[in-house]
Chains A and B, each alone.
Chain A
Amino acid sequence: MIKLLSSSAFSFPKEPARKNEDSILPPRKVGSGFLMAIADGVGSYAGASSASESAIEYLTSLQSAAFESSDAIEKIFEQIKIRVSNLTIENPSYFDAATTLTFCYAGEKGIKIGHIGDCRVYLKNDRKLLQVTKDHTQHQKLIDEGLYKPSELKEASGKNTLISAISKKINLHFQEAFLSYDEICAQDGSVSLFIMSDGAYHSWELRPRFLESTLEDPNRFAANLRRRIIRLEPTDDCSLIAVKLTIKSQLELFD
């Protein structure tokens, strides 16, 4: 049985007066597990926030059975694509509307991850955060294919250019992953999971370290990261979901 020990989340726009095009789903009890997600509406196109909202709204409507089948992730993305495509019915100027989406369902045996775009899932491992998802960006893909060395792209544009998103016009390319608790739980049976939008991990990446005690505690992590983002000035809308889960039963926790 998976239990939520602690969680914290934030989502705020680049500038206070601007609309926040990120949408988040903080940990929500679904069946015997927990569902959480961040969707980042692809800016510069009309309907960015409607697209990210419709992705989160659809996830919110799901029951636990929706995460059980082997093609669950694909089906979820397909359904969201239909909803994003249908936004043009309500507003014809939304024909380019697009969103990224990264969600985690922490079920009985492990964590299922569905991912399209450039939000990231990190897992705490020892004193570091390990990035679990791969960014669907031009640079990442070019490096993966061996066309460029990372140093050759350092100054080049395209770092944030997506090669995949949920949109009427784009074929779905998604990543799915399953992380079994056997492999990822710390000795005390806990798992610390972080979902960040690009605005948030931009600041994290600059110096990807916090005190062990901060990494251990989702609330402290969120407060510290938020402070850092504000100090460096946000480059984009910023969202974070930090959770700490445990597979040990309440009683065992007192042992």
Chain B
Amino acid sequence: MDGYHGNYKYRIIEKIGEGGFGFVEKIELFNIADNRCGEYARKSLNDLEPDLRDEFRRRFAREVSYQASCVHTNVAHIYLCDLKSDQPWFIMDLAAGDLQKDIDKGILTAAQKIDVLLMVADGLIYLHSLDYLHRDIKPSNILRFKDDIYKVSDFGLVKNLDKSSESEVITKIATAMGTAKYMAPEIGIAGEYSKRTDIFALGVLLEDLDMLDNPGIHEVFKKSTARRPPDRYSEVQEMRNEFVAAIGESK
């Protein structure tokens, strides 16, 4: 065994991903009675330089606590975590793939694309209902699991709208956060995030999925990615409804 945590132990199988500040491994999880629970993914934070260490540990802890508080079919769930060790980690379901790779391979059918968008929208509606903003919606953060269920993942940039403690300067630094292609203009200009910036990113996803040939969906795209935030949908539900209507019309 490579590690213990509470009533569980795990064996590391292989490294399956790496980023600037951490890495992801495929692991095998067992309970204390040695019953095999299955294969899972473990995300760990590197042991960073002292300068960055505290801040990234705080962010990692925030990521874990927000993601762990979510219980929804279309949000990737966290099962176990250890935030105290030198390399903090958490364990979540092992994904079969991600949307970016599926788009690159060009394997998605028209019907699957519609399902993907609805699943991401549902995950996002749920997050917004908890007053969370995801702030980094993009295909590589949407994971595919068993039975082609897609889930929103990577809570590294999640913001809790409810918390006044995340104040000015953090917001200011946030201008550099996220991924340019999915960033609404007000983020780059003034670091302003809202439900409408998540809606913008979801709109860009329609383009990624190559769905704009449908005139109804194109209208949804235009409205969700409008330059001025007040011209966009104010709620994901509203966007979802119009998207569903657009599909209905085209049938």
Contact = CB atoms under 8 A, between A and B. Distances in A.
Interface of A: 42, 44-45, 95-96, 98, 138, 141-142, 145-148, 152, 158, 160-165, 167, 169-170
Interface stretch (B77-85, B117-125, B131-139, B224-232): B224-232
A142 B186 contact: yes
Given A142-B190, A163-B190, A147 B168 contact: no
A42 B167 CA distance: 10
A147 B228 CA distance: 5
Contact of A165 (B172, B185, B186, B228): B172
B217 to A, nearest CB: 25
Interface string B176-203: 0000000001100111100000000000
Given A142-B189, A142-B192, A145-B185, A170 B228 contact: no
Contacts of B167: 44-45, 161
B33 to A, nearest CB: 45
Nearest to A138: B190
Given A141-B190, A142-B189, A163-B190, A170 B230 contact: no
B191 A163 contact: yes
Closest 10 CB pairs of A and B: A141-B190, A138-B190, A162-B168, A44-B167, A145-B189, A161-B168, A147-B186, A142-B190, A152-B230, A98-B169
Given A147-B189, A147-B190, 11 more contacts: A142-B192, A145-B186, A147-B186, A147-B227, A152-B230, A160-B168, A161-B167, A161-B172, A162-B168, A163-B191, A167-B169
A170 to B, nearest CB: 6
B165 interface: yes
A141 B189 contact: yes
B46 interface: no
Nearest to A173: B172
B171 interface: yes
A195 to B, nearest CB: 21
A148 B169 contact: no
Contacts of A160: 168
A152 B138 CA distance: 28
Given A148-B228, A148-B229, A169 B169 contact: yes
Contacts of A141: 189-190
Contact of B173 (A45, A161, A170): A170
Contacts of B168: 42, 44, 98, 160-162, 165
A42 to B, nearest CB: 6
Interface residues of B, number: 19
A158 B172 contact: no
A173 B184 CA distance: 21
A45 B190 CA distance: 20
Contacts of A163: 172, 175, 190-191
Contacts of B165: 44
Nearest to B175: A163
A141 to B, nearest CB: 4
A219 to B, nearest CB: 34
A214 to B, nearest CB: 33
B57 to A, nearest CB: 13
Contacts of B190: 138, 141-142, 145, 147, 163
Contacts of B191: 138, 161, 163
Nearest to B194: A156
A95 B52 CA distance: 11
Quick one: which of B169, B171, B186, B191 has the most chain A CB within 10 A? B169
B18 to A, nearest CB: 25
B51 to A, nearest CB: 9
B227 A165 contact: no
Contacts of B172: 161-165, 170
Contact of B230 (A98, A148, A158): A148
A142 B228 CA distance: 10
A148 B226 CA distance: 12
A1 B48 CA distance: 57
A138 B230 contact: no
Contacts of A161: 167-168, 171-172, 191
